[in-house]
Amino acid sequence: MQQRLHHLDAARAVLLLLGIPFHVGTTATMILSPGFPAWMANPVLGVGLSFIHSFRMSAFFILAGYFSGMASARRGRRSWLGDRMMRVALPLVASIASLAVIQYHLKVMLSAAWAPGLYGWPLAFEHLWFLIVLLGFVFTYALRPRRAFVPDGVWRPLLGLDRGTWPIPLLALAAWGAGLAWGAQVLGLQDNEAVFEQELLLRYGQYLPAFAIGALGWRLKLGNRLFAFEGRWPWFAAPPLMLGHFLLDPLVRPHLGWEGDPAPALRIMDGALACALTYAMSLIVFRLLAHLFDRPSRAVSFLVDGAMAIYLFHMIVAMLVILGLAQLGAADWPFPTMQWAAVSALVLGLSILVFLVVRRIPLLAVVFGGQRVAPRTRGDAPAKTS
């Protein structure tokens, strides 16, 4: 149990860190206009962004589903829901009232095309959609019936953790992803902040299977197997699924000389591949982290403690850094891959500094950290041992 908990903390930290190079890359190539030409033409950047996006958020929601089941069972439904309001809803509301406004003005500075804002309001949600969708899953899980109408044995094969059951989750996820992509086309739904309610609906549908997998992992008491899976099928399934996804992903296709958006039928195919890929990749990532982190780590604990504040503020930091680089003429600088890595490291460092400031101010620690950080007193000092 302890090993699993240690590496799940590491998973939260790693998935947090991977969000920084992803948003640095998208800010410099999609929000900034014109984007940095060398970055936009760099295949390493395109493939790297696609790779990160292929599993990061799904792995997050698998963890969220598992810990939702655990906390709800141990605390009780009402107490757990109150905790989620404190740790998720409060930072979200505070961020909408402040960070979303700042992000809007920074986006307009990066490109005047973003001036319309969100339905005429000076707001830019960007990464904040994650908290809204997470709250949606929290409320969905809180409304689940107390009595199970389907025996647990029926759900178990859907996780693919038993011998010979691996095709079941892959086929089920592929069908879900294809159906979601087809439904979006039929209904004309857009994954775009300009129609924010449609974006949220699509993201809810996209990540619902991941949250459900995590919740089932807790319900079926399969956490150790889910987060340290020793089976081989994910290692065989991920490469062909990843290759197919790369060939259809708008982040990669321009580097192959193709039009960014594939044909409608190919988008449905990519929906199927991407949804199945996320589970295989998540199992691989969790297994690797279980191997690497088998004991407590101060660095991991520090990043987990600061996860909410770092997550909330890193987008503003990324926009400021990219804006500064644009003013310095970085569009003409060579070595885009090295720039991407260096800028990501800089944004991480600055975001950590912001967290250090936030946690020292009680009000900010509450509204942007989701928890009260009490000042250390003499009575809190560790006792000396002989």
Q: Per-residue pLDDT for 2 more than 70? A: no
Closest CA to 22 of 275, 303, 311: 311
Contacts of 344 (CB under 8 A, 6+ apart): 20, 21, 24
In this prediction the pTM is: 0.93
Residue 289 Cα to chain centre, angstroms = 17
User: Could you tell me which residues are beta bridge partners of residue 118?
Assistant: 121
Question: What is the mean predicted confidence (pLDDT) over 280-292?
Answer: 95
What mean pLDDT is reported for the chain? 92
Name the percent of the chain lying above pLDDT 90.
Answer: 84
User: Beta-carbon neighbour count of residue 157 at 10 Å?
Assistant: 16
User: Beta-carbon neighbour count of residue 196 at 10 Å?
Assistant: 16
Question: What is the mean predicted confidence (pLDDT) over 4-15?
Answer: 82
Q: Give residue-wise pLDDT tens across range 152-182.
A: 889 999 999 999 999 999 999 999 999 999 9
Q: Give residue-wise pLDDT tens across range 323-380.
A: 999 999 988 899 999 999 999 999 999 999 999 999 999 999 999 987 655 544 444 4
pLDDT at 386: 34
Q: Per-residue pLDDT for 205 more than 50? A: yes
Contacts of 221 (CB under 8 A, 6+ apart): none
pLDDT at 95: 97
Residue type, 241: L
Q: Transcribe 53-112 into DSSP letters.
A: HTTHHHHHHHHHHHHHHHHHHHH-HHHHHHHHIIIIIHHHHHHHHTHHHHHHHHHHHH-G
The single-letter DSSP state of residue 121 is B
Q: Per-residue pLDDT for 383 more than 50? A: no
Name the percent of the chain lying above pLDDT 70.
Answer: 95
More reliable by pLDDT, 149 or 359: 359
Residue 336 Cα to chain centre, angstroms = 24
User: Beta-carbon neighbour count of residue 1 at 10 Å?
Assistant: 7
pLDDT at 339: 97
Q: Give residue-wise pLDDT tens across range 91-144.
A: 999 999 999 999 999 999 999 999 999 999 999 999 999 999 999 999 999 999
> Predicted confidence band at 5 (pLDDT cuts at 50, 70, 90)?
low
> Predicted confidence band at 193 (pLDDT cuts at 50, 70, 90)?
confident
Ranges of each domain in the chain: 2-375
The single-letter DSSP state of residue 118 is B
* Under 8 Å between Cβ of 89 and 34: no
* Under 8 Å between Cβ of 209 and 311: no
pLDDT at 294: 79
